[in-house]
Structure 1
C-alpha cells in the first residue's frame, strides 16, 4: 500500500521500469518449443535463469506483471547469497549499494538486554549480512538477465494452463494480445507464495500457521543510527508486542511492528493508523526528526511447504515450494539457494555432464533445507510472537531475567542464516571419517585467503578439486572430462581452514558445497567420485571404494 495521492509504484526513492508484453517479430516464436520455461521473474526465477545460462542452457522467463514487485519486502541478503550472485557475475552493483552489517541489539521495555555479533573473519570475502530493498535486488538481477542472450523474457504473460505430457510440459499463456501455448522440456515454478502453477496442479502447502501479525512499514528518515538489527520487546509504543527496525540504503528504514490479538487488521492498515504507529515507534527510539511514509503491508508468520518439490517435469522453487517466517532472514536467501540448486543440476543434465537422476536430489536437498529453516525459525517465531499465554509468560520471564543477568539475553538472539548441509543427499559421497575438522561432506565450502585473493576466486564454474599435492593435481587434470583443479600449498590458509594434510583433497560442486573429500586422495578416487555424484556410468576399471586411505 502507498499513501493517498501516490500511484501504486510511485516511490520516494526508486523508479520502477515498465515492461511491455512481447511485440513484433518476438511474437513469431512464442509457440516454439523450449528446453526450460521459468514461471515468475522475481529474484528466485531470475537466479534460476542466470544459473542455467551460466551452464549454457537457454530458457524462457515469464511473468504476469509489467514491473518489479513493489515495496522493500525481503531486505536481508546473506553472505551465501552474495556468493551465488558472484557466481552469476551480478554481485558488483549489490556491493556498491547494499549496507553490510554484523551486529544486532535487543531491548526489553526500553533497556538493552543483548548485543550479538555475527562471525565476520578476514578469511571470508563477504560480510555475514547485507540490507538492500527488494526493488534493487530485482533491478540488479534484471540488468544481468537483460545482458544474457540465452534468456528470453516475456512480461505481462500469465500462465493460465499447464498440461503434463510424457516428454514435456505444455503451458498456456495469456498476454494483452493473445492466448497461445508452447511446450517446455522442463518447468520451474518460481511464481511465489500464491503459486498459480501449484494451484493448477492441485497441490497444497502443509504446515503451521502462527497467530502473530506484523505491519511492515518503509519510511524515509534521516534517523542517525548504525546498520544494526534492532528488536524491541514489550516497548512503550507497542505494549506486549515486538518491533523490528532495519536501516536500508537511501535513508529508508524498515519498521515491523506486531499487531495485538484484538487489533482489527483492516483498521490497523489504514494510513492514519500506520502513521500514528510508526510515529510512536520513532518516539520510542528517541527520533524526533521529520520522516515520510513510503509503503506498508501486513505479514503473518507461517511454516508451510510441499511434500515434494518435484512433480514430474515441474520443479517448485522458492515461495511456490515453501513459506518461511521472516525471523532469521531465511525467506529470500533460501529461495535464491533453491534457484541455484535446480539451475546447475538441470544445466548439467541438459548439457550431458550428469545423468537425469541428479534431478532427484533437488527435492531432498532443498526440502531438507526448508525443514532446517523451520526448526530454527519456529523457535524464533515463538519467541517473537508467542502463540499462547503460556509462551508469553515464559518469554517475558526470560526477558525480565536478562535485565540483571546477561546470559539470559542470549535467548533473544535470532538464529543466523547459515547454508544447509547436504550430508544425507544422494548427490554427495559418505564423508572420510579420518578428518578431524574442516568442511564436512555436504557443507558449504568456507572461504580462505589465497595469494592476495580468496579461495572462492579460484573455483571453476563446474566441479572443482582442491588439493595440496601437484602430482595428484596432474593426475586429475589428465582424466577425461576432468574437473577444474586448484592446487595450493600444504601450509596455506586454505589447508588450515579445511584441516587438510598434504595428501588431502576436496571435490566441490558448482554450488560450492562439498561433494566428497579424502585425507589421502588419488586420481582414480576422484574420477569414481565424480561419476557417482553426477549419476554417470563408472569406468569399467573403476574401483568399488570411494575413499583411499
Structure 2
C-alpha cells in the first residue's frame, strides 16, 4: 500500500498542510473518466485548469498529500504570468511575488555584465517575478478545489498502465490499497522521475552535464535588490559558479557549484553548508550576518527530451516530457507552455470536434520548443559549468578579458527563457498574408500585449476560444464574414470575434475595442481596415491577413482546429 508522508514538511516560513487521502472505499465503483492527469505539481495543476476552461472534466492524481518541499521553481516569466492570468491566479502571484528585470555577473569582485530584460509600458507583467513553488502550487490548488470540473485525489499513485486504441487502464495505489481506473486519455505530468515514462520504457534524448549544484534556501536580511546575482570563479570556490536570488518572506536562494567528484550527500551536511554559505556572504561583504537554513538539495544540469510526447493514449508534459537546465528559468516556464499547448487540443478531441491526429501537433510543436531550448540552454550551461578542458579554457579567457574589455560582457548572457514561436507549425495558415506584414506577431508567435487603459490590456480580452481580431472602423462586420463565423460556431467551434478600431460597437462582433490613437494597430502592423489576426486558444497566432474574407477564414480555422469533416 502506498503510504505518502502524513506529517507536514518542515519549514521556517511556509505552513505546510496535509490533505486527506482519497480512498476507494469511500467512493463508488467503477471508475472511468475522459481525462486523468497524473501529477498535481505546477504543470499538472495548470493542465487541469486549462482543460476546465474548455469545459472538460478531469481527475487529477497526486501521490503525495501536500505541496512540494522547498522553493524549487522560483522565477516565473512574463509569458508564464500571462498563462497564469488565464487560469485565474496571476493576481495572487503579483501580490506576493518579487518582480525584477536585471541580472548581474561578477568576476574578481567586479561587475562585468549587467543584463536588462525588455519592459515597456504595454506590458502588464514584469519580465520575471520570484515566488517559491509551494506558494504557486497553493494558489493553483485553491483554484482547482473551487472548480467543479476537476477532482483532485491526494495520496493516489499510478503503479501500472495498460492501453489499447480506446483508452488506458491504470492501477492506482492508495493508503488502503490499489484500485483500477479507466480513462480515454492519460496526461503524464508526474515530473522528472516520471514513473509513467519508466512503465512505458521510454528514453530521453540529449545530454547530462557533470557539474552539480547545491541549492540552499536561507533566511537572512540582506540589503540587496531583487536582481539575479552570478559569481564566477570566486576565491572560496575556484573554477566554479554561484547564483543568488531574493525570494519573498526574507528568504534567499544560494546555488553553488560543487568541485568535481565531491559526494552530494557530504555536501549537504550542516558543517559543509555553513562553511560555504559563510564564505559566500563574506565575499559579498556581509560576513557575520546571521542566517538560518530552511531547505537544501543537490541537482545537476540535464538537457533531455522525449522525441515524441504522444504515445497512444498517454500524453507527456512538463518534466515528464523533458528535463531542461534551470539556468535561464526554463523548467516550470516551459512546462506551462506545454500545458497550454496540450489542453486546447485535447479538449477538442474529447469533445469530438477534432480527431486524435490533432494531438500530433502538440508533440511536434513542443518537442521543437524543447530542442530549441536545449540548444540555447546548452550554451549557458557550458559557460556556467564547462564540461571539458577546452570549454574551460574558453570560459576563463572570457572571464579574464571581461575585466578590461566590455565587448565580451554579453557572452555572460544566460539566454533567458522566452515563449516559443511555432513558425513551422502545420496549424499555421498557408494561404494568408503573413509575409506581407512589417510588424506584429507572426506565424506561431504569442500575442503582443497592448495597454488599452489604466488597468486594461489586450490579453485581458482573450479567453479559451479562437480569437479573431478584426480591424475595422465600419459600423458592422461584413455579412459574408458574419455568416461564416456563425456556421463554424454551429459546428461547435469556440470562436470569438473582437472588432478593433471603432469608437462605437461594431455589429456582428462580440466585443469592440476602440483604438483612437491607433497604437494597437501600429503594434500589429495593420495599415488599413479589413485586416485581421487569428489567435489559437493558447493565444498563438495561426493566421493574419491584410484583407480578410470568409473563404480564407474558413480554411484557416478548419486547418488550425483540425475540424472533422461534416457528415
Q: TM-score range by the shorter chain?
A: over 0.9
Asked if 2 retains the 8 angstrom alpha-carbon contact of 1:505 and 1:518, the reply is yes
Report the counterpart of residue 438 of structure 2 in structure 1: 436
Report the counterpart of residue 191 of structure 2 in structure 1: 192
Determine which of 449, 452, 455 is the counterpart of 2:451: 449
Q: Please state whether the residue corresponding to 1:428 is helix, strand or coil.
A: coil
CA distance in 2, matches of 1:197, 1:370: 20
Q: 2:290 aligned with 1:308, yes or no? A: no
Report the counterpart of residue 42 of structure 2 in structure 1: 43
Report the counterpart of residue 89 of structure 2 in structure 1: 90
Determine which of 475, 488, 504 is the counterpart of 2:500: 488
Report the counterpart of residue 544 of structure 1 in structure 2: none
Q: 2:449 aligned with 1:459, yes or no? A: no
Q: 2:17 aligned with 1:17, yes or no? A: yes
Cα 1:474–1:255 change in 2 (3 A) is: farther
Asked if 1 retains the 8 angstrom alpha-carbon contact of 2:18 and 2:66, the reply is yes
- CA offsets per residue over residues 347-374 of structure 1, 9 Å max, x none? 1222244343221101001111101110
> Offset at 1:271?
1.6
- CA offsets per residue over residues 302-357 of structure 1, 9 Å max, x none? 11111210000100111111000011101110011111111111112222443432
Asked if 1 retains the 8 angstrom alpha-carbon contact of 2:8 and 2:17, the reply is no
Cα 1:232–1:519 change in 2 (3 A) is: same
CA distance in 1, matches of 2:28, 2:412: 57
Q: Please state whether the residue corresponding to 1:255 is helix, strand or coil.
A: strand
Asked if 2 retains the 8 angstrom alpha-carbon contact of 1:447 and 1:494, the reply is no
Determine which of 550, 554, 557 is the counterpart of 1:530: 557
Q: Please state whether the residue corresponding to 1:210 is helix, strand or coil.
A: strand
Asked if 1 retains the 8 angstrom alpha-carbon contact of 2:23 and 2:174, the reply is no
- TM-score relative to the length of structure 1: 0.94
Give every structure 1 segment of 4 or more consecutive aligned residues whose post-TM-superposition deviation is greater than 6 Å: none
- TM-score relative to the length of structure 2: 0.91
Report the counterpart of residue 386 of structure 2 in structure 1: 386
Report the counterpart of residue 201 of structure 1 in structure 2: 200
> Offset at 1:73?
0.6
> Offset at 1:19?
1.4
> Offset at 1:390?
1.4
CA distance in 1, matches of 2:380, 2:351: 42
Report the counterpart of residue 290 of structure 1 in structure 2: 290
Asked if 1 retains the 8 angstrom alpha-carbon contact of 2:185 and 2:313, the reply is yes
Asked if 1 retains the 8 angstrom alpha-carbon contact of 2:41 and 2:68, the reply is yes
Report the counterpart of residue 168 of structure 1 in structure 2: 167
CA distance in 1, matches of 2:481, 2:186: 36
Report the counterpart of residue 414 of structure 2 in structure 1: 414
Ranges in structure 2 where 5+ consecutive residues have no aligned partner: 1-6, 490-494, 502-514
Asked if 2 retains the 8 angstrom alpha-carbon contact of 1:246 and 1:254, the reply is yes
Asked if 1 retains the 8 angstrom alpha-carbon contact of 2:86 and 2:463, the reply is no
Report the counterpart of residue 360 of structure 2 in structure 1: 360
CA distance in 2, matches of 1:458, 1:41: 28
1:16-165 paired onto structure 2 within 5 Å: 16-23=16-23, 26-29=26-29, 31-165=30-164
Q: Please state whether the residue corresponding to 1:481 is helix, strand or coil.
A: helix
> Offset at 1:474?
6.2
- CA offsets per residue over residues 385-406 of structure 1, 9 Å max, x none? 0011111111111121111111
Q: 2:520 aligned with 1:516, yes or no? A: no
CA distance in 2, matches of 1:466, 1:539: 26
CA distance in 1, matches of 2:498, 2:344: 21
Report the counterpart of residue 236 of structure 1 in structure 2: 235
- CA offsets per residue over residues 130-168 of structure 1, 9 Å max, x none? 111011111111111110111111111111110012201
1:236-275 paired onto structure 2 within 5 Å: 236-275=235-274
> Offset at 1:477?
4.0
| Corresponding residue pairs, total | 533
> Offset at 1:285?
1.3
Asked if 2 retains the 8 angstrom alpha-carbon contact of 1:473 and 1:486, the reply is no
Question: More deviation in 485-494 or 414-423?
Answer: 485-494
- CA offsets per residue over residues 88-109 of structure 1, 9 Å max, x none? 1121211111111100110012
1:464-479 paired onto structure 2 within 5 Å: 464-469=467-472, 470=474, 471-472=476-477, 475-478=480-483, 479=485
Cα 1:454–1:476 change in 2 (3 A) is: farther
Asked if 2 retains the 8 angstrom alpha-carbon contact of 1:476 and 1:485, the reply is no
> Offset at 1:26?
4.5
Q: Please state whether the residue corresponding to 2:27 is helix, strand or coil.
A: helix
CA distance in 2, matches of 1:468, 1:114: 43
Asked if 2 retains the 8 angstrom alpha-carbon contact of 1:476 and 1:527, the reply is no
- CA offsets per residue over residues 3-24 of structure 1, 9 Å max, x none? xxxx871101001110121248
> Offset at 1:451?
4.2
Q: Please state whether the residue corresponding to 1:71 is helix, strand or coil.
A: coil
> Offset at 1:25?
7.5
Cα 1:318–1:473 change in 2 (3 A) is: farther
> Offset at 1:262?
3.9
CA distance in 2, matches of 1:101, 1:473: 45
Cα 1:473–1:137 change in 2 (3 A) is: farther
Asked if 2 retains the 8 angstrom alpha-carbon contact of 1:358 and 1:427, the reply is no
RMSD over equivalenced CA pairs, Å: 1.7
Report the counterpart of residue 508 of structure 2 in structure 1: none
CA distance in 1, matches of 2:24, 2:315: 31
Question: More deviation in 466-475 or 425-434?
Answer: 466-475
CA distance in 2, matches of 1:460, 1:264: 49
